[in-house]
């Protein structure tokens, strides 16, 4: 009998998984919008988070970090029990409590020496986008460490070749949400004069350099510390930071194509579709999955070729951002249901979600294309699955905001709208979103520290949960601390 080293055990721990069903991923992930729902109901009914006291911060952490941790660990076998624990109090508060009187909702007279700016921003900061991006970042930070503990089910770990899992969705969602917020700069370019390609490439490379440096540092540290790694995820030298780093320059290049095909959704489908044709009708798919690692290209084939799929996901995120970010124009009171679907942000997001979901099931159905999802390839069904999942999750969070904070964008001055927006936003999720990549880097460093110093594979449930709670509390505390001192780290 061959005795494996601990490093070999760790590599075996994340190898050969087949994942779970799409419905399973959906039911576990539902804890995120339900936590946001409960936070929003508490704020709207009780105004608990204004002012933001230590008790309010603790409850905020429990709802938006601890609940997600529980969903992926101790409640993983019964996700609907946790979902009901989040949903029922929200319903109870809505039924039993009246909305709290908000002094801040009343217009404030401008200072005599500084008149209020009455012109509202065409691209306002929207709490539902902040909430979703922050919640997705929190779940990503939790999963990258929790996957090393037995309390985190193996069905949530990344699949080897074909299938769906929670962590597979997490990687794609990170890219999708990056595309959503990147649409802001693209929308500003449309309203003004677009800079020349050379300037856009220079700007995008400035954003890319820190990520590429982080990717290089990660590669050197993993090799130098003999850290356990799974090369079939991205390859021998490639890692997720390289994928993130190369997205802005390639997205800048595709801006010129946008003049010919003025739809990010269509561009993303064309790109992902052409990539799928290459996978299915050439030897590319076999090369990525089974070729020997003999040179630089073959050693990093997963990261290099899956980048095409991630670029398509990024463009799909830009497509949704182009709909979600602009200010909604007021509708007449007698507007029809059809008009509300076409002209409101929530209605358009619902239609987009339905479109991506229909395309996903068409691509994977026995009566459709019959394709299988592969995060390793980042193929066409994976692109559609990520687009569908994130679209309907964002739609749910948008619906929560629309119902509970209907006057959010009806302020009479920019200052008043900023205050209303801040009051309707979780501070924990705002902090995760504000310094997203810096928080992600901190989480990666802490994950490495825990794995180097603790035998995570041999730890019981109580030990594992104690470490994971301390870890995510540290990450959240650092994020909230940076926000409190108004520090924004741009990576």
If pLDDT is split at 50, 70 and 90, which confidence band does 86 have?
A: very high
If pLDDT is split at 50, 70 and 90, which confidence band does 432 have?
A: very high
DSSP character for 457?
G
Q: Is the model's pLDDT at 226 over the cut of 70?
A: no
If pLDDT is split at 50, 70 and 90, which confidence band does 329 have?
A: confident
Lowest mean pLDDT among 109-113, 171-175, 350-354: 109-113
Q: What pLDDT score does 3 carry?
A: 53
CB atoms within 10 A of CB 38: 24
If pLDDT is split at 50, 70 and 90, which confidence band does 203 have?
A: confident
Q: What pLDDT score does 180 carry?
A: 95
Q: What pLDDT score does 399 carry?
A: 97
Question: 113-135 pLDDT, tens per residue?
Answer: 555 566 788 889 999 999 999 99
Q: How confident is the model over 163-175, as a mean pLDDT?
A: 94
Q: Among all chains, which residue has been given the structure tokens 């309010």? A: 56
Q: Which residue has the higher pLDDT, 322 or 491?
A: 322
Q: Is the model's pLDDT at 1 over the cut of 50?
A: no
Q: Is the model's pLDDT at 112 over the cut of 80?
A: no
Q: Nearest-5° angle of CA 22, CA 476, CA 240?
A: 50
Here the tokens at position 380 are 């066409």
* Nearest of 70, 71, 67, 63 to residue 39 by alpha carbon: 63
Q: What pLDDT score does 228 carry?
A: 61
Question: 364-383 pLDDT, tens per residue?
Answer: 998 889 999 999 999 999 99
Q: What pLDDT score does 103 carry?
A: 43
Q: What pLDDT score does 18 carry?
A: 85
Q: Is the model's pLDDT at 357 over the cut of 60?
A: yes
- Exposed e or buried b for every residue in 326-364, given b needs 16+ CB within 10 A? bebeeeeeeeeeeeeeeebbbbbbbebbeebbebbbebb
Q: Which residue has the higher pLDDT, 379 or 104?
A: 379
Q: What pLDDT score does 285 carry?
A: 95
Q: What pLDDT score does 257 carry?
A: 83
If pLDDT is split at 50, 70 and 90, which confidence band does 105 have?
A: very low
Percent of the chain with pLDDT over 70: 93
Lowest mean pLDDT among 170-184, 337-351, 366-380: 337-351
Here the tokens at position 438 are 């810096």
* Interacting residues of 146 by C-beta distance below 8 A, sequence separation 6+: 69, 72, 73, 152, 468
Q: What pLDDT score does 117 carry?
A: 62
Q: What pLDDT score does 12 carry?
A: 75
Lowest mean pLDDT among 24-38, 68-82, 95-109, 138-152: 95-109
Q: How confident is the model over 270-286, as a mean pLDDT?
A: 96
Q: Is the model's pLDDT at 446 over the cut of 50?
A: yes
**CA–CA dist 393, 397 (Å, integer):** 6
CA dihedral (169, 171, 177, 182) positive or negative: negative
Q: How confident is the model over 464-490, as a mean pLDDT?
A: 94
Mean pLDDT score across all residues of the chain: 89
């Amino acid at each position: 009998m061959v005795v494996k080293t601990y490093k070999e055990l760790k590599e075996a721990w994340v190898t050969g998984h087949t994942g779970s069903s799409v419905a399973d991923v959906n039911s576990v992930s539902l804890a995120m919008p339900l936590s946001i729902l409960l936070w929003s109901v508490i704020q709207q009914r009780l105004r608990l988070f204004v002012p933001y006291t230590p008790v309010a911060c603790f409850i905020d952490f429990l709802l938006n970090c601890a609940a997600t941790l529980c969903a992926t660990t101790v409640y993983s076998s019964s996700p609907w029990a946790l979902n009901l624990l989040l949903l029922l109090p929200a319903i109870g508060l809505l039924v039993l409590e009246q909305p709290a009187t908000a002094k801040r909702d009343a217009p404030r007279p401008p200072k005599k020496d500084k008149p209020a700016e009455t012109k509202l921003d065409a691209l306002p900061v929207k709490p539902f986008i902040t909430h979703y991006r922050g919640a997705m970042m929190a779940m990503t930070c939790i999963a990258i460490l929790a996957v090393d503990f037995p309390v985190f089910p193996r069905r949530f770990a990344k699949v080897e070749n074909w299938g769906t899992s929670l962590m597979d969705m997490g990687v794609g969602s990170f890219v999708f949400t990056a595309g959503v917020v990147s649409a802001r700069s693209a929308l500003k370019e449309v309203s003004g004069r677009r800079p020349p390609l050379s300037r856009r490439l220079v700007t995008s490379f400035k954003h890319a350099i820190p990520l590429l440096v982080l990717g290089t540092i990660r590669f050197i540290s993993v090799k130098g510390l003999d850290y356990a790694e799974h090369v079939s995820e991205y390859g021998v030298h490639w890692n997720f930071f390289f994928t993130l780093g190369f997205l802005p320059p390639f997205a800048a290049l595709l801006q010129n194509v946008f003049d010919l095909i003025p739809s990010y959704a269509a561009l993303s489908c064309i790109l992902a579709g052409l990539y799928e044709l290459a996978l299915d009708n050439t030897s590319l798919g076999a090369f990525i999955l089974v070729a020997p690692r003999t040179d630089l290209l073959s050693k990093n084939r997963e990261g290099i070729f899956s980048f095409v799929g991630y670029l398509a996901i990024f463009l799909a995120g830009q497509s949704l951002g182009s709909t979600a970010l602009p200010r909604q124009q007021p509708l007449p009171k007698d507007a029809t249901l059809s008009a509300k679907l076409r002209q409101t942000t929530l209605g358009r997001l619902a239609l987009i979600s339905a479109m991506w979901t229909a395309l996903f099931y068409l691509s994977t159905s026995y009566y459709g294309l019959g394709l299988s999802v592969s995060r390793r390839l980042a193929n066409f069904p994976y692109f559609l699955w990520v687009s569908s999942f994130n679209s309907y999750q964002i739609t749910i969070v948008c619906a929560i905001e629309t119902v509970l904070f209907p006057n959010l964008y009806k302020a009479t001055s920019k200052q008043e709208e900023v205050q209303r927006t801040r009051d309707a936003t979780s501070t924990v999720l705002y902090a995760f979103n504000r310094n997203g990549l810096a928080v992600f880097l901190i989480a990666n460093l802490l994950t490495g520290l825990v794995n180097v110093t603790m035998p995570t594979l041999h730890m019981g449930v109580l030990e594992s949960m104690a470490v994971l709670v301390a870890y995510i509390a540290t990450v959240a505390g650092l994020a909230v601390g940076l926000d409190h001192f108004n520090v924004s780290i741009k990576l």
